[in-house]
Structure 1
Amino acid sequence: MASEETVTDGSQARPRRQARGQQRIEQILHAAAAVFAEHGYDAATTNAIAAQAGISPGSLYQFFKNKDDIAHALADHYASQLAALRGEVFTRESIDDASVEDLVDTVLGPLVAFNLAHPGFKALFARTDMPAGLRAAVTPIHTAIHHRVAELIGLLLPDRSHEEVARIATVTIQLVRSMMPLIADASGPERDALTTELHAVLTSYLHQHLS
């Protein structure tokens, strides 16, 4: 009987330990996002992340080997969030019978909101000089974003070649990536003004290819 009680207690404890472990992982990732946003990926350290999370470095190393390992997990987290965003925004319905201005507005608004809600995102995805240790983690997300943007542009420009559509998508994404950190760092009227400027640049660029 005692043996059965021990097994039962253990089976009940495992889910609790797993839940606590998942909570700790989320705590570390949240802290890493804050540290990456404030200091940038290169300057961030595991000690700073542990301090931000309110845990010891030793506790952090129970879940992650190093900073790159944390960044990979954070990239996976952002990937799942972006997948939901792509499902909501980057749809065929968002382009059917829509003007270029409406299309840009439909896509840009949620992207700005996503970056504001995830301040660590720009440290991992907005930069063009991605560290080698992080490149593999973010490449699948960049590829998925490029594919979806190219898909929408292909619907907008059905007579263009695959290569030209891919190039237009690349330029469009780079315009957004270059401006998004400025928009995220600004506030109030200045953020709105920068968003309006980016909207104007994107619509002008796409109109150029429609003519």
Structure 2
Amino acid sequence: MTEVSHSSSPQASINLRRQPKQQRGKERVEKILDAAATVFDEVGYEAATTHMIAAKAGTAIGSLYQFFPDKAAIFKAMEIRHSERVKEFWSQVDIPALVQLPLRQMIYVLVESVAELFEQPVSRVVFVQFYLAPQIFQSIDESMTQDAIAFMASILKHRNPALPGELHDLLAEVCVHSSNAIILAALRNPDPEHCQRLTQQIENLMVSYLEPHVGNQRLGNVMKVMMCLHCQSDQLSKNGYRRGKQCYLCKDCGKQFVAQ
């Protein structure tokens, strides 16, 4: 669902002319990377120039050159930033706890986390450019897709250990490739609302596809977690009874609903 390189030491491979030591310098580098992401998104990598990036960052071209010798070095730093964020995302996933959730909620948590990752301009542009212009990449390659598949396979294996190894690998491969294709279409769509609708369909697609293999009926130890029918939040409070059924109030969206 997300992608990362095999670089073992990301910070060491960034082609910075000068490593920023003070916080102000680090913030300037991040500002340059965000500006570069905007420029690459607007005009493409080939048409982009360091002068355009410096102007978008609101900094002098000389300040940019203090850190980066050319736009290739800037893009490589963007690759590294994206890789670091994906690795951080993976490290924060508590797989044993995640797989105990009902299937739809498990997928919802994963999809929302990935969507949050791509709200960051650098990660969004790096992901899109990997499919549009793979030749400009220096530290990310096809191995990152294999890492994503292995991550998803691990989740499926934990959720249903009875699945044959070849099957959970195949399921994971289909999930990663199909979700990446939808994410790419969503990120390239200029309409924010349609982009959101596309992203939301990943949840429906994956739930339907995975239900026969890792659905709730196959797990005897899945926790019964009540979710809001309107926003899928689990931050609920009991709110009396209606016709003999428990009512709940969602603390996030404020709507009420009856237990299904």
TM tier, smaller: 0.7 to 0.9
Equivalent in the alignment of 1:60: 64
RMSD over equivalenced CA pairs, Å: 2.8
Question: CA shift at 1:141, angstroms?
Answer: 4.9
Q: Does 1:18 align with 2:21?
A: yes
What is the TM-score when the length of structure 2 is the normalising length?
A: 0.62
| 2:122 partner letter | G
Q: Which residue of 1 aligns with 2:125?
A: 123
2:76 to 61, 72, 94: 72
**Paired amino acid for 2:39:** V
Q: 1:67-146, aligned counterparts within 5 Å?
A: 67-89=71-93, 91-96=95-100, 98-116=101-119, 118-126=120-128, 127-134=130-137, 136-137=139-140, 141-146=144-149
After the TM superposition, which of the residue ranges 43-52 and 147-156 deviates more from structure 2? 43-52
Match of 1:165 among 159, 165, 168: 168
More strand, by proportion: 2
Are the aligned partners of 2:81 and 2:122 in contact in 1 as well (CA < 8 Å)?
no
1:33 to 26, 31, 37: 37
Partner-residue secondary structure (3-state), 1:62: helix
* Contact 1:37/1:122, CA 8 A, preserved across alignment: no
Structure 2 CA distance for partners of 1:194 and 1:67, relative to 1, 3 Å: same
Matches within 5 A, 1:179-198: 179-184=182-187, 185=189, 186-188=191-193, 190-198=194-202
Correspondence for 1:204: 208
Ranges in structure 2 where 5+ consecutive residues have no aligned partner: 1-19, 216-260
Quote how far apart the aligned CAs of 1:138 are: 5.4
Residue 182 of structure 1 and its aligned partner are, at CA, apart by 3.8
Q: Deviations along 1:59-95, whole A, 9 cap, x unmatched? A: 3232123222212212222223223322333522111
Pairwise CA distance, 1:210: 4.7
2:123 counterpart letter in structure 1: F
Q: Is the 8 A contact 1:36 1:120 kept in 2?
A: no
Q: For structure 1, which runs of at least 5 residues remain unmatched after alignment?
A: 1-16
Q: Percent of pairs identical after alignment?
A: 25
Show the counterpart of 2:51. Answer: 47
Q: When the two structures are aligned, how many residues end up with a matched partner?
A: 192
1:2-17 correspondence to structure 2 within 5 Å:
none
TM (normalized to structure 1)?
A: 0.74
**Aligned partner letter, 2:150:** H
For the 8 Å contact 1:146–1:173, the answer to whether it is kept is: yes
Structure holding more helix per residue: 1
Q: Kindly provide the CA deviation profile for residues 85-119 of structure 1, in whole angstroms up to 9, marking residues without a partner as x.
A: 223335221112x2321211110012112212x13
Shift of the 42–165 alpha-carbon distance from structure 1 to 2, 3 Å rule, reads farther
CA gap 1:166/1:39 in 2 versus in 1, 3 angstroms: farther
Say if 1:68 and 1:99 are closer, same or farther in 2 by CA, change over 3 A: same
Match of 2:139, SS? helix
